[in-house]
Chains A and B, each alone.
Chain A
Amino acid sequence: MNTLEARQVEKAFGRTHALRGLSAKIEPGEIVAITGPSGSGKSTLLHCLSGIMRPETGEVHYAGERIDTLDEAARTKLRREHFGIVFQFGRLVPELTAVENVALPLLFDGHGREEATTVARAWLEEAGAADVADARPAELSGGQLQRVAVARALITSPKVIFADEPTGALDSVAGERVLSLLLGAARVNSATVVIVTHDNRVAAYADREIVLRDGVTAGEVMA
Chain B
Amino acid sequence: MSIGHILLGLLTERPKHGYELKREHDERLPGAKPLAYGQVYATLQRLQRDGKVAISGTAQESGPERTVYEITGEGTADVHRWLAEIEQPAPFISSPLFARVVLALVAEGSADGYLLRQRSAHLERMRELTARKSSAGASVGELLAADYALHHLDADLRWMETARQRIDELTREIRA
On whether the beta carbons of B119 and A211 are closer than 8 Å, the reply is yes
Known: A37-B161, A180-B134, A223-B127. A201 touches B116 (CB 8 A): no
Cβ of A200: which chain B residues have Cβ within 8 Å of it? 122-123, 126, 153-154, 157-158
- Asked if B129 is at the interface of the complex by the 8 Å CB criterion, the answer is yes
Identify which of residues 100-156 in chain B touch chain A, using a CB-to-CB cut-off of 8 Å. 116, 119-120, 122-124, 126-127, 129-130, 134, 147, 150-151, 153-154
The interface on chain B, measured as residues whose beta carbon lies within 8 A of the other chain's beta carbons, has a size of 20
- Asked if A204 is at the interface of the complex by the 8 Å CB criterion, the answer is yes
Bound CA span A205–B154, Å: 13
Cβ of B154: which chain A residues have Cβ within 8 Å of it? 199-201
Bound CA span A220–B124, Å: 12
On whether the beta carbons of A221 and B124 are closer than 8 Å, the reply is yes
Q: Kindly provide the distance from the CB of A105 to the nearest chain B CB, expressed in whole angstroms.
A: 28
Q: Given B119, B124, B126, B161, which contacts A201 in the complex, CB threshold below 8 Å?
A: B126
- Asked if B165 is at the interface of the complex by the 8 Å CB criterion, the answer is yes
Cβ of B119: which chain A residues have Cβ within 8 Å of it? 211, 219, 221
- Asked if A164 is at the interface of the complex by the 8 Å CB criterion, the answer is no
Bound CA span A37–B153, Å: 17
Classify the interface of chain B: helix, strand, loop or mixed.
helix
Bound CA span A180–B124, Å: 19
Bound CA span A176–B122, Å: 19
Residue of chain A at shortest CB distance from B153: A200
Which interface class (under 10, 10 to 19, 20 to 34, 35 or more) fits A?
A: 10 to 19
Q: Kindly provide the distance from the CB of A37 to the nearest chain B CB, expressed in whole angstroms.
A: 6
Bound CA span A219–B130, Å: 22
Cβ of A218: which chain B residues have Cβ within 8 Å of it? 116
Q: Kindly provide the distance from the CB of A196 to the nearest chain B CB, expressed in whole angstroms.
A: 16
Known: A211-B116, A221-B120, A221-B123. A204 touches B150 (CB 8 A): yes
Cβ of B147: which chain A residues have Cβ within 8 Å of it? 172
- Asked if A150 is at the interface of the complex by the 8 Å CB criterion, the answer is no
Identify which of residues 175-217 in chain A touch chain B, using a CB-to-CB cut-off of 8 Å. 180, 199-201, 203-206, 209, 211
Cβ of B129: which chain A residues have Cβ within 8 Å of it? 204
Q: Kindly provide the distance from the CB of B46 to the nearest chain A CB, expressed in whole angstroms.
A: 39
Residue of chain B at shortest CB distance from A213: B164
Cβ of A221: which chain B residues have Cβ within 8 Å of it? 119-120, 123-124
Q: Ordered nearest first, which 6 A-B pairs have the shortest CB separation?
A: A204-B126, A221-B120, A204-B130, A200-B157, A200-B154, A219-B116
Footprint of A on B, CB under 8 Å? 116, 119-120, 122-124, 126-127, 129-130, 134, 147, 150-151, 153-154, 157-158, 161, 165
